[in-house]
Amino acid sequence: MKKQVRVSLRVQFMLYIIVIHLGLIYLIFQWVYKDKLIFIASEVIVLLSVFVAIYLYNNFRKPIDFIAQGIESIRDKDFTTKFVPTGKSEIDQLIAVYNLMIDQLRQERTRQMEQQFFLEKLIDAAPIAILVFDFDDRISTVNPKAVEWLQLPAQALVGKTVQTISHPLANPLASLADAESRTIKVNGIETYRVQKSHFMDRGFRRSFIIVAEMTQAILETEKLAYGKVIRMMAHEVNNSIGAVNSILDVTKSVLQEEAQEDVSHAVQVAIERNDRLSLFMRRFADVVRLPVPQPVANDWVEVTRSMVQLMIPRAEAGGIRMTFATHVSGLIRLIDRVQIEQTLVNIIKNAIEACVAGQVVEVAVYADHVVIRDNGQPIDPVVAANLFNPFYSTRPEGQGIGLTLTREILLNHSLTFSLRTNAEGWTEFVINV
């Protein structure tokens, strides 16, 4: 392939001027070389013509030079360079147009930079997690809330796909379709509102995902709702039970004759049933009336060991083996011991009830968490999403209060926790202390 040689306009013009004037010199030499005076005058005229041609060329060249310098400035993204008018109308018109264009480009660039800066600040300050992806659906930008939520540094997230992130929400996020919005519940208590959308970047689509944690707001709304219902129920039931028991006590006191023994026994049954109903309502009300924790320094190892010893007879009665292990000599934290003990009892009780004879309940204390786990009946994924819902129970006789009370106590202590069945079939309740 022949290489194409390009000759600049300047060289072409100079070659043209040289050829023309050399031709003129040759013709002058042929015509008037005998008349030296005319010959010299002709040569002077030719030289003047050369200078005029060069002068005119430079004047024509100036607009091109201005354009070249302007293009170079734009290529270097320098929008501050402007040209000064020369006093020549044609060139000044070009300079005026260029200066106006540079002013507009500078203003537009400044506006875009300000908008970009504002957008970055807005994303960084957003109380929701934002993940921005590149053209290959790999994470390119994460805001501080996303770093906090994923518990990974930004450097460890950039360049990865969602599927490779170690988080329970990774798979649900990866399955999101464009423009889809969904509410996802994790560990039966953490609730997130996730949405996927896209924007155009240099003519191509780029995706982003917004994740808003709704756990606290939902829990507060939920607590207000069921608290109001429980207080109303307790008020009505207790008022009725008190009045009915008074009537029954009076009735029983006058039914002393032997012939009326059956009626007296029926009245006693009714009184006892009313007492159980009153106890039932008090247990519901305990969830609403849960006092604010009074934290003092306690050793999690000692507290957990004492609750295990308390529950071992119950486990052994069902043929279930219970073990306790500690991987730290002491774990002192500020806790309300009475409430934490109630929490541990509820968790261990649920673990025992999930097992049958021959199975195991293991309790262990580590440097930063406590684990109660069992190899009994695994948690169904559908059930897992509702375990911490108030009054939800999988047992016919269950009231769904234990885990609700446990949830409230741990949240009031600002302790995070999780309940799930792992891949090996062990159901683990983990309290991060």
**Backbone φ and ψ of 155, nearest 5°:** -65, -30
Residue 420: its pLDDT value, please?
86
CA distances from 72 to 261, 286, 353 (A): 112, 77, 79
pLDDT at 347: 92
Q: Please tell me the distance from the alpha carbon of residue 289 to that of residue 162, in angstroms, as a whole number.
A: 42
pLDDT (0 to 100) of residue 301: 93
Architecture of domain 126-213: 2-Layer Sandwich (3.30)
pLDDT tens, 56-105? 777 777 777 777 777 777 777 777 777 777 777 777 787 788 788 888 88
| Banded model confidence at residue 283, pLDDT cuts 50, 70, 90 | low
Tell me the pLDDT tens digit for each residue of 306-318: 999 989 999 999 9
**How far is Cα 328 from Cα 345, in angstroms, rounded to an integer?**
21
Contact predicate 128/181, CB 8 Å: no
Mean pLDDT of 375-385: 80
Q: How many residues comprise the chain? A: 433
Token digits for 5?
């040689």
Measured CA distances, 33 to 46, 63, 175, 176 (Å): 15, 41, 94, 93
DSSP class of 414 = T
pLDDT digits (tens, 9 = 90+) for 117-170: 888 888 888 888 888 999 888 988 888 888 888 878 888 888 888 888 877 778
pLDDT tens digits, one per residue of 12-44? 777 777 787 777 777 777 776 666 777 777 777
Per-residue model confidence (pLDDT) at position 1? 45
pLDDT(256) > 60: no
Instruction: Judge contact between 207 and 196, C-beta under 8 A.
Output: yes
> Is the CB of residue 256 less than 8 Å from the CB of residue 268?
no
Per-residue pLDDT, 296: 93
* 432 half-sphere exposure, CB direction, 13 A CA radius: 7
Q: Could you tell me the pLDDT band of residue 430, with boundaries at 50, 70 and 90?
A: very high
φ and ψ at 147, to 5 degrees?
Answer: -65, -45
pLDDT at 320: 94
The separation between CA 355 and the C-alpha centre of its own chain, rounded to angstroms, equals 37
Nearest-Å Rg of the Cα atoms of the chain is 44
pLDDT at 263 over 60: yes
Query: In terms of pLDDT, which residue wins out, 342 or 82?
Result: 342
CB 322 within 8 A of CB 315: yes
In the structure, what pLDDT confidence band is assigned to residue 363 with cuts at 50, 70 and 90? very high
- How much of the chain exceeds pLDDT 70, in percent? 73
pLDDT for res 212: 84
Residue 202 pLDDT exceeds 50: yes
H or E segment and range at residue 432: strand 427-432
Is the pLDDT assigned to residue 238 strictly greater than 70? no
Mean pLDDT of the chain: 79
pLDDT of 406 > 90? The answer is: no
φ/ψ (deg, to 5) at 420: -160, 160
Q: Report residue 128 as tokens.
A: 């929701």
Q: Which of 258-272, 284-298, 313-327 is predicted most confidently?
A: 313-327
pLDDT > 90: what percent of the chain? Answer: 17
Cβ neighbours of residue 374 under 8 Å, at least 6 residues apart? 351, 352, 354, 355, 359, 360, 361, 362, 426, 427
Residue 185 has a pLDDT of: 76
Q: Print burial letters for 175-192: b (CB count within 10 Å at least 16), e (below 16).
A: ebeeeeeeebbbbbbbbb
pLDDT at 344: 93
According to the model, what pLDDT value does residue 264 have? 65
CATH number of 296-432: 3.30.565.10
